Amino acid sequence: KKSSAVTPINLDSRERVHEFLNKFDFILSDCDGVLWVNNGAVRGAAQAINKLRARGKRVCFATNNSTKTRDEFHQKLTKLGFEADLDELFPTSYSTAVYLKSIGFDRKVFIVGQSGIAGELADVGIESTGVGADPTPRHWTPGMAEVDLDPDVGAVVIGFDNQISFPKLTKACSYVRDNECLFIASNADETYPHPDPKVAVPGPGAYVAAIQAVTGRDPIPLGKPYQYFFDIIRLQHPEIDPKRTIMIGDRLTTDMVFGRNNGLKTLFVQSGIGTYDDMINFKNSQDPEDHKCVPDYYLDSLDDLNKYL
């Protein structure tokens, strides 16, 4: 049976890159694994993005990372040499605040995550709790989870939390078990990139799955690959034409699927989590769902574009 997957084009010549450039006006770029890994810029990435801007391309940064506010992401981009304006930054900490504001939410949010979400919520006047250490007391036994639940909490928001603990999960599950409480995944990435391929770093998807298992409820997803995340970008940039927009990412299962779900073309770079072999496996898969993970174009990293720009 013939595969319904696209055949990805390697942008490995001046001619291909120029043909590629003529097909879009707007760039949505992921951040972790595309522009930087941890705190170091991907070599040549800032130069490539800035050159694309110089050619008149519009750029927005669309990241599932909720650990920082837009201001903090702006500082990081600037420090690493990327030209960027605040209204071009779309972390899921921001999409969460926009969503809750848009539905007139007026209660407190319990966050399993970091200060980025709390900061963006505060900017729209929403109170939150939960950020920071909440260690498991030594005397706890499994059936003896002593937690104080705040009656004002009306939503649980999940992001990346490097201080995840048993009390935090217990509180999150207890709140979410009440059907009146909103259950929101700022993103549900299962893992984060690590320099050592043998190390598996659990992402927010791991905590989301735990809460789903306990409560039987599915979250409202506010990051990639879902449509709502693109709606938020379009709200600020109504001039975006999906047919003339490219999504650049390193994660085949979120960035490429996000592109497919929203009618965008996609460019896969191998400077982060995904590999060439992963791409080929998705292309050759018998499962049509896997074909959504196949990009239109691919490169080793954004630095490769610099040869032709």
Q: Give the tens place of pLDDT for each residue, 231-276.
A: 999 999 999 999 999 999 999 999 999 999 999 999 999 999 899 9
**Cβ distance 282 to 304 under 8 Å?**
no
Element (H, E) at 268: strand 265-269
255 in helix, strand or coil?
Answer: helix
For residue 141, the model assigns a pLDDT of 77
- Residue 44 clears pLDDT 90, i.e. is over it: yes
Phi, psi of 157 (to 5 degrees): -115, 130
Annotated binding residues for Mg(2+), written as ranges, equal 30, 32, 250
- Residue 111 clears pLDDT 70, i.e. is over it: yes
Q: With the CA atoms of 148, 151, 153 and 158 taken in that order, what torsion angle do they form, in degrees rounded to the nearest 10?
A: 30
Annotated binding residues, written as ranges, equal 30, 32, 224, 250
Q: Which residue from 257, 259, 247, 298 is spatially nearest to 275, judged by alpha carbons?
A: 298
Does residue 167 have a cis bond before it (omega within 30 degrees)?
no
- How do 191-192 and 201-202 pair as beta strands? antiparallel
For 67, counting Cβ atoms within 10 Å of its Cβ (0-12 exposed, 13-18 middle, 19+ buried), the class is: buried
Record the tokens describing residue 36, joined without a space. 């930087």
Average pLDDT over residues 177-199: 89
For residue 202, the model assigns a pLDDT of 93
- Residue 170 clears pLDDT 90, i.e. is over it: yes
Percent of the chain with pLDDT strictly greater than 90: 88
**What is d(CA 309, CA 301) in angstroms, rounded to the nearest whole number?**
14
With bands split at pLDDT 50, 70 and 90, how would you rate the model's confidence at 144? confident
For residue 283, the model assigns a pLDDT of 97
Percent of the chain with pLDDT strictly greater than 70: 99
Domains of the chain by range and CATH? 9-64+224-268+276-281+290-307 (3.40.50.1000), 100-221 (3.40.50.1000)
For residue 223, the model assigns a pLDDT of 96
Residues with catalytic roles? 30, 32
With bands split at pLDDT 50, 70 and 90, how would you rate the model's confidence at 191? confident
The whole-model pTM stands at 0.93
With bands split at pLDDT 50, 70 and 90, how would you rate the model's confidence at 159? very high
With bands split at pLDDT 50, 70 and 90, how would you rate the model's confidence at 296? very high
For residue 2, the model assigns a pLDDT of 56
For residue 196, the model assigns a pLDDT of 80
For residue 3, the model assigns a pLDDT of 62
**What is d(CA 161, CA 300) in angstroms, rounded to the nearest whole number?**
30
**Cβ distance 42 to 31 under 8 Å?**
no
What DSSP string runs through 157-219?
EE---TT--HHHHHHHHHHHTSTTSEEEES---SEE--SSTT--EE-HHHHHHHHHHHH----
pLDDT digits (tens, 9 = 90+) for 58-91: 999 999 999 999 999 999 999 999 999 999 999 9
**Cβ distance 184 to 156 under 8 Å?**
yes
